[in-house]
């Protein structure tokens, strides 16, 4: 049972990638005709410009899926005549899809604006809800727009019709296409999905950091950073598709480079978000069952934020995990000279009191069970900085509010 639970993140990743691939293959059959007509009739636009435009669109869609879907959808809706359109509206420009997406986007923007005024416990729950919404909206936006972008790029890169080869949609290809067409789509579909996933997980880490950060000013800076990147990319796109491509290539390369770190942080944020949103508590599983944890620092023989299970041993803790989520289990024996469980505002961390270095981080589901976990690992229980300050502030306010009443009672007893 524990093996199945430990492999769930891998199953989620495989399922999402398979869904995106299926959406791209099946949806391109519908979108290919419109994309092919556009690429054929725009004779002034070169094939390389269409490819550059497609890569830039995929990158922008991955940076902020819901915002790009809503913006591009309403733009195409207006370009096609709005409610008086004489042609069938594409799915991404259909008001029945755009109106709920616009409402969700407006709620998310309102929450970002009002975040500094929202108390921390409520803000963290709203951050968790927005984090899960970002995952769902990315899947919807990719399923709606990726097939059209892939079909347009494929049509532009096919042989010129003047040479005798006919440009056809994916539906025609499936009925008897040339080997070149099959190779073209076999390369474009996984490449587009790989670019989207790598860029999306790299920028989605901003949503993960917002869930993990207790400071509203940090959230504002992260959101402004993502908005600035998307705005610069949009400005470059209007100047020239090649300028946008020149900006996208470094982003794509860095995304592939940091994707592994982003996935590990995203899994930690997902665990924290679900615990906060659904108020999950683990009161019966500790001890004796090993607790789900994440490595809290580098230098232990595995990357930081590696997900696994921890249990106490004679000279420290035993951390068990699966490399890449599917490889055979590995076990790390971590020495902890003076174990100390630091209870933070959102999650708790088991540290070595002698070096004050974090060892493993427990998700919020274990926060209500901190005393039992500390006893299990023979650790000293200590409150974190933010939690101490919060309790001190609450105590000071309580003293101010109840001080006069207590003084009056003491005076009455004296009399």
Residue whose pair of structure tokens reads 């755009």 in the numeric block? 98
- R_g over Cα of the chain: 27
- Grouping H, G, I as helix, E, B as strand and the rest as coil, residue 353 is coil
C-alpha to C-alpha distance for 163 and 144, rounded to whole angstroms: 33
Between CA 185 and CA 116 the distance in angstroms is 47
Instruction: Compute the Cα dihedral for 282, 286, 290, 295 and give only its sign.
Output: positive
Residue 398 burial (CB count, 10 A): 10
Hey, how many other C-beta atoms are within 10 angstroms of the C-beta on 271?
22
Angle between helix 179-212 and 241-277 (nearest 10): 50
Find out whether 360 and 319 touch, Cβ atoms under 8 Å: yes
**Secondary structure of residue 320 in the 3-state scheme:** strand
On whether the CB atoms of residues 66 and 185 are closer than 8 A, the answer is: no
Distance CA 317, CA 308 (A): 12
Q: Which long-range contacts (CB under 8 A, 24 or more apart) does 160-169 make?
A: 161/40, 167/36, 167/39, 167/40, 168/32, 168/36, 169/28, 169/29, 169/32, 169/33, 169/35, 169/36
Please give the domain boundaries of the chain with CATH numbers for all domains. Answer: 2-277 (no CATH), 291-383 (2.30.29), 384-415 (no CATH)
What pTM was computed for the model? 0.73
**Contact of 28 with 193, CB cutoff 8 Å:** no
First vs last C-alpha separation in the chain: 68
- Neighbouring CB atoms inside 10 A of 323's CB total 12
Q: Report the half-sphere exposure of 339 (CA within 13 A, side-chain side).
A: 24
Does an H or E element contain 331, and which? Answer: strand 330-335
DSSP 293: E
CA distance 134 to 318: 35
Residue 287, pLDDT score: 53
pLDDT value at position 174?
A: 41
Q: Which two tokens stand for residue 119?
A: 């108390």
Which structure tokens are listed for 68? 């790009």
Structural contact between residues 324 and 292, judged by C-beta atoms closer than 8 angstroms:
no
CB 95 within 8 A of CB 77: yes
Cα separation, 116 vs 389, in Å, equals: 18
Per-residue model confidence as pLDDT tens for the chain (415 residues) = 343 344 444 444 444 444 444 444 334 333 433 443 443 444 435 778 888 888 999 999 999 999 999 988 898 888 888 777 767 788 888 888 889 999 999 999 898 888 888 888 888 889 999 999 999 999 998 898 888 888 888 777 655 544 444 444 444 444 444 555 567 777 788 889 999 999 999 999 999 999 988 888 888 889 899 999 999 999 998 899 899 999 999 999 999 999 889 999 999 999 999 988 887 666 545 555 788 899 998 888 899 999 999 998 888 899 999 988 888 999 999 988 888 898 887 888 999 877 778 899 999 888 888 888 888 888 888 876 555 554 554 555 555 556 544 444 444 444 4
Taking every pair of Cα atoms in the chain, the longest distance, rounded to a whole number of angstroms, is 110
| 191 to 150, 195, 244, 292, 315: CA distances (angstroms) | 10, 6, 18, 34, 48
Dihedral over Cα of 6, 9, 10, 14: its sign: positive
Q: What is the Cα–Cα distance from 228 to 222, expressed in whole angstroms?
A: 10
């Amino acid at each position: 049972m524990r093996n199945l639970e430990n492999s769930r993140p891998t199953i989620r990743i495989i399922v999402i990638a398979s869904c995106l691939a299926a959406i791209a293959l099946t949806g391109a059959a519908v979108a290919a005709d419109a994309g092919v007509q556009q690429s054929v009739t725009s004779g002034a636009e070169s094939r390389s410009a269409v490819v550059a435009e497609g890569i830039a669109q995929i990158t922008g869609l991955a940076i902020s899926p819901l915002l790009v879907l809503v913006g591009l959808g309403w733009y195409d809706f207006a370009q096609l005549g709005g409610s008086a359109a004489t042609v069938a509206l594409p799915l991404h420009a259909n008001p029945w899809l755009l109106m709920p997406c616009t409402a969700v986007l407006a709620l998310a923007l309102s929450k970002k604006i009002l975040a500094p005024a929202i108390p921390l416990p409520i803000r963290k729950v709203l951050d968790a809800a927005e984090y899960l919404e970002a995952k769902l909206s990315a899947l919807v936006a990719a399923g709606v727009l990726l097939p059209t972008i892939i079909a347009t790029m494929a049509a532009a890169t096919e042989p010129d019709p003047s040479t005798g080869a006919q440009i056809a949609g994916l539906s025609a290809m499936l009925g008897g296409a040339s080997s070149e067409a099959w190779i073209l789509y076999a390369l474009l579909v996984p490449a587009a999905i790989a670019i989207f996933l790598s860029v999306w997980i790299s920028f989605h880490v901003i949503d993960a950091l917002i869930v993990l950060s207790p400071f509203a000013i940090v959230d504002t800076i992260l959101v402004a950073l993502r908005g600035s990147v998307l705005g610069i990319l949009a400005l470059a796109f209007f100047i020239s598709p090649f300028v946008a491509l020149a900006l996208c290539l470094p982003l794509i390369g860095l995304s592939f480079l940091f994707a592994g770190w982003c996935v590990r942080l995203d899994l930690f944020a997902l665990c924290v978000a679900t615990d906060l949103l659904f108020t999950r508590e683990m009161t019966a599983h500790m001890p004796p069952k090993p607790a789900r944890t994440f490595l809290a620092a580098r230098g232990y023989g595995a990357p930081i934020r590696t997900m696994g299970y921890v249990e106490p041993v004679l000279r420290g803790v035993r951390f068990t995990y699966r490399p890449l989520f599917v490889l055979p289990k590995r076990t790390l024996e971590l020495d902890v000279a003076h174990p100390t469980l630091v209870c933070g505002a959102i999650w708790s961390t088991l540290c070595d009191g002698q070096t004050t270095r974090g060892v493993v981080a427990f998700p919020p589901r274990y926060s209500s069970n901190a005393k039992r976990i500390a006893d299990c690992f023979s650790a000293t229980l200590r409150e974190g900085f933010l939690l101490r300050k919060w309790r001190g502030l609450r105590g000071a306010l309580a003293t101010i509010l109840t001080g006069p009443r207590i003084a009056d009672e003491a005076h009455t007893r004296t009399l």
